[in-house]
Structure 1
C-alpha cells in the first residue's frame, strides 16, 4: 500500500514558541514525512516571536519533511511599521511591543525581508491555503492581500470556493479547529490561552481534513 502524502496546516502561532515545538513534535509523531504549511501570523502578542521566526526560517531538521510559510496580516503590519508604509503605533498596539521585546528592540533586516517576501496564498487542485480567507463572490485573480490577509466570515459560513476546500486561520475561536462545509479554521487562539492547532489533509484526496492535532498552552510553574 502506497504511503499517503500528508499536509499539516498550522494556525496562528503569535510568538508561542513552546506550543509550536510541541505541535511539531505531534506532527512528526503522526507521520514519518510530509509537508507543514504555516498559515501566517507567526509574530506579535506572544512571548517569543523571534524564536518562532528563527525556528521556521531554519526549516525542518528531519529528512522527508518540507515546510512552507504564508504571510499573515501581522507580518504585513511589522513590515509596514519598519518601512514607513504604515503607522508604527498601530503595529505596537496590536502585539508589536511584545515582538520588539523578544528582539531586544531591533528586528534584523534578514528577518524583515523574509517576512516581506512570503507568499500570501497557495492554490492547489483540491485546496486553498491562506491566512484569512478568500471571497468566493469574486474571481480569485481579482483578489489580493486586502482579502487574503484580512477578510473575516461568520463562524457558520461556507462557500463553494471554485470546487476547493479553504483552510485558514486569522479568526480565533475556542471552538477551533473545526470544519464548516468547505472551510476549515485552524486558529484556536493559542496566544489567548487556547491551543495551537493544525489540520491534517491527504494531498491525493479532495475535501476537508482527515484529522486535527493540537498542542495546549504550557503554564509556568508557580
Structure 2
C-alpha cells in the first residue's frame, strides 16, 4: 500500500477531493498522512473534518495550530467571534463527536523512517523524544481535564526547551514546538512573530531545520504550517504547505519515491477567517 503526505487543507475540501482523485488514478488503495490544520480559514471546515474522519484507518492527521484553535473555542478558552466556517461545526448535530475525534489525533507520527508533525521539531529533540513528548500532550488532550489545559495552552514562554520543564510550561513548550515553530536560534530559542519566508528571518534566528546541531538532521521530517516557505523537498525534509487557502496549490508527495501531485486552488478556496 502506497502512502501520500498532504499539506495544510484548512477547510478547502474541493481541492482535496481533486487531489485525491489524481492520486487514486495511480493508486486506488492509497493511504494518507495529513500535516495538520484540517480546519479554519477555508469554507468547508465541517465537511473536511467529516471527510477525513470517515477515511478511518486509511488516514492519519496530526494536530495543527488551527485544529488546536478549534479545540480551544470548544473548551471556552477562545471567544466564539468571527468563526467563519468553524461555526458550522458547533451548529452541526455531530459537532461534539467531531471535536472529540479531533482531540484524539496525534501531535507527531512516525512510520517508514519518517516523522510527521505540523510545524517543526526543536533541535534538541530526537525522533524518539519527539514522539514521547507528543504523547505527554496527547494524554492530556484525550483525558478528562483537556478543557482545563486549553485554558492554559496559549503563550510564548518558555521559548527554549529544557528537559526539566514541568507542568503547563512543559506542555506549552511541546505544543509550540510541534505546531507553531518556524524560526529558532542555534540553541533552540523559538521565535513566533516572523511568518514570512526564509529571507525574512529575524536577526539571530534561522529556520528550525537549518540548525547545525539538530538531532533529527539524519531523519526525514514531513511538515506543513509555513505557507510562505512553500514546497521544499530535501533528503531530510518535506515542507508541504503550499498555500491552498491563499489560492496557490494543495500538494501531496508519495513517500516511497517522492512523486509530486498538486492541484491549483485558485477560485476553489477563499479564506473567510484571518
Question: Which 10-residue stretch deviates more, 135-144 or 183-192?
Answer: 135-144
1:76 aligns with 2:68: yes
- Computing the radius of gyration from Cα coordinates, the structure with the larger value is 2
Q: Could you tell me which residue of structure 2 aligns to residue 137 of structure 1?
A: 124
* TM-score, with length taken from structure 2: 0.65
| Structure 1 match to 2:22 | 26
Structure 2 gap segments, 5+ residues each? 135-173, 184-196, 199-206, 269-274
- Name the structure with the higher strand share: 1
Q: Which residue of 2 aligns with 1:118?
A: 105
Counterpart of 2:260 in 1: which secondary structure? strand
Alignment CA distance shift 1:138-1:160 (3 Å): closer
Instruction: Compute the TM-score of the two structures, normalised by the length of structure 1.
Output: 0.79
Q: In the TM superposition, what is the alpha-carbon distance from 1:72 to its structure 2 partner?
A: 1.0
Q: Following TM superposition, by how much is the alpha carbon of 1:11 offset from its aligned partner in structure 2, in angstroms?
A: 0.6
Between the aligned partners of 1:137 and 1:51, the Cα distance in structure 2 is: 38
Kindly report the root-mean-square deviation, in angstroms, between the aligned alpha carbons of the 2 structures: 2.5
Report the 3-state secondary structure (helix = DSSP H, G, I; strand = E; otherwise coil) of the residue aligned with 2:180.
Answer: coil
Paired with 2:19 and 2:10, the residues of 1 have a C-alpha distance of: 14
Deviates more, 1:17-26 or 1:179-188: 179-188
Match for residue 167 of structure 1 among 184, 205, 222:
222
**Counterpart check, 1:35 vs 2:16:** no
Which of residues 126, 148, 165 in structure 1 aligns to 2:178? 148
Q: CA deviation at 1:104?
A: 7.2
Give the drift of 1:180.
3.9
Distance 2:133 2:100 in 1: 26
Q: Hey, which bits of structure 1, 4+ residues long, moved more than 3 A?
A: 102-107, 153-160
**Cα distance, 1:163 vs. partner?**
2.5
Q: For residues 11-66 of structure 1, give each alpha carbon's deviation from its aligned partner in whole angstroms, at most 9, with x where no partner exists.
A: 11011111010011111112233320111101111111111111111117xxxx82
In 2: Cα distance, 1:49 partner to 1:217 partner: 16
Q: Do the aligned partners of 1:11 and 1:38 also contact (CA within 8 Å) in 2?
A: yes
Gaps of 5+ in 1: 203-208
Q: Give yes or no for the alignment of 1:217 onto 2:204.
A: no
Q: Single out whichever of 29-38 and 19-28 deviates more from structure 2.
A: 29-38
